Amino acid sequence: MSVTIYIFKKLTLNLNSIYLIMTILKTQAFGDYDNLAKFVNLNNIKREDILAVTSAGPSGGTHFIFYYADSEAQEITHGVFGWSK
């Protein structure tokens, strides 16, 4: 499950062109807190970039993290066969 919301963070004007650095809101779902913590640590997500960590489902079985990141960034994610980029 992925959610992408575009937020304009910085607009820099140059004589020849306009540079737009975009920060977006991203989310990932995890089956347990251990994998969520590993995701945050492997991707060096800063505390100030984390918007929320929530639980859903029966007995809080699924955990979600909502965080801000560069739109071009490729996170290291969990998969069926382990962690990969």
Q: What would the pLDDT profile of 42-74 be if each residue is shown by its tens digit?
A: 999 999 999 999 988 777 788 999 999 988 888
pTM to 2 decimal places: 0.67
Q: What ranges do the domains of the chain cover?
A: 5-84
Strand extents, DSSP E, the chain: 5-13, 18-30, 50-56, 62-70, 77-79, 82-84
Q: For the chain, how far is it from start to end, CA to CA, in angstroms?
A: 17
Furthest C-alpha separation in the chain: 56
**Strand (E) or helix (H) holding 33:** helix 33-42
Q: What's the pLDDT at 1?
A: 47
User: Is 7:19 a contact under the CB 8 Å cutoff?
Assistant: no
| Separation of alpha carbons 61 and 66, rounded Å | 17
Q: Indicate if the pLDDT at residue 14 is higher than 70.
A: no
